[in-house]
């Protein structure tokens, strides 16, 4: 799964890998408003981080994929992303002896193990290892009172007091639900359900490692964490924060940065053609 995540040959152009838009060394995303895919096209949405994504209830901003396996199928085939097909991916992998051997080892009960379902199973299995423990906030929760600075503790109290925790709760500080947040003409969840009540609704983004994943929101319209905090408070809570409050909440959010596993951060040597 790790090799496939890093392998650009899964894309039609042989230039784009999962790691291109979800760069593990950059917080699990790519640092641009909207990822550049096949033929320099963009999908108009900001790439969510793959770090800790196994804890999410649904995948994508509009929740159209219930699992990481289903999510992996999307970018591989989307014409604005990797623009490949299951048939093309399987054909290429079957031409690489080392991959054929690895698939047989990973899926010993399958008569024909190099298939598209196994490709996405492997990628999703790797993505479930991309968890980031040992953040200052996690150490604080485990009893280390000194893991957070005084300012970070004040920011945490503000985060709770203002009501941010209403949507940002749970293992990755996302309730997994959908909330109305209109910044452009992207209708969000409505594209999936066709229910008018879902217009302009998007899944609550997770906050682990959020200090590393600018720009923010589904359209990447907030360039900085300060801008994102201010806008969230104003639009979702109806509150205008002072610079001091924003700075304290930002300090707290910075305490959510954990450690990416070294095994995931090392780029694998891929088999030759």
Alpha-carbon separation of residue 173 from 43, 56, 168, 250, 257 (angstroms): 26, 10, 4, 15, 13
Token output for 147: 């893991």
CB 161 within 8 A of CB 155: no
Is 259 assigned a catalytic role? no
Q: Which long-range contacts (CB under 8 A, 24 or more apart) does 165-168 make?
A: 167/204, 167/236, 168/204, 168/207
Q: Catalytic residue, from 81, 127, 154, 254: name it.
A: 81
Alpha-carbon separation of residue 175 from 168, 200, 203, 228, 237 (angstroms): 6, 17, 8, 18, 16
Residue whose token pair is 């590393």: 212
CB 161 within 8 A of CB 186: no
CB 46 within 8 A of CB 181: no
CB 114 within 8 A of CB 106: no
Burial category of 39 from C-beta neighbours within 10 Å (exposed 0-12, middle 13-18, buried 19 and up): exposed
- Residues labelled as active-site residues: 81
């Amino acid at each position: 799964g790790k090799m496939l995540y890093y392998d650009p040959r899964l894309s039609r152009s042989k230039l784009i890998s999962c790691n291109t838009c979800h760069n593990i060394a950059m917080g699990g995303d790519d640092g641009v408003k909207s990822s550049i895919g096949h033929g320099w096209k963009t999908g108009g949405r900001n790439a969510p981080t793959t770090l800790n994504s196994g804890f999410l209830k649904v995948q994508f901003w509009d929740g159209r994929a219930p699992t990481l396996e289903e999510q992996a199928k999307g970018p591989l085939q989307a014409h604005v992303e990797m623009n490949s097909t299951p048939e093309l991916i399987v054909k290429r992998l079957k031409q690489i002896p080392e991959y054929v051997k690895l698939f047989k080892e990973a899926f010993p009960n399958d008569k024909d193990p190099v298939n598209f379902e196994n490709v996405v199973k492997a990628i999703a299995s790797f993505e479930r290892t991309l968890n980031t423990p040992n953040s200052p906030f996690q150490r604080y929760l485990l009893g280390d009172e000194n893991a957070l600075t005084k300012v970070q503790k004040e920011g945490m109290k503000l985060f709770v007091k203002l009501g941010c925790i209403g949507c940002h709760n749970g293992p990755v500080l996302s309730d997994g639900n959908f909330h109305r947040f209109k910044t452009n003409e992207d209708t969000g969840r409505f594209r999936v359900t066709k229910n008018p009540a879902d217009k302009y609704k998007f899944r609550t983004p997770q906050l682990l490692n959020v200090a590393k994943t600018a720009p923010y929101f589904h359209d990447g319209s907030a360039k900085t964490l300060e801008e994102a905090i201010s806008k969230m408070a104003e639009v979702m809570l109806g509150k205008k924060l002072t610079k001091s409050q924003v700075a304290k909440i930002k300090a707290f959010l910075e305490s959510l940065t954990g450690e990416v596993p070294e095994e995931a951060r090392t780029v694998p040597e891929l088999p030759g053609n």
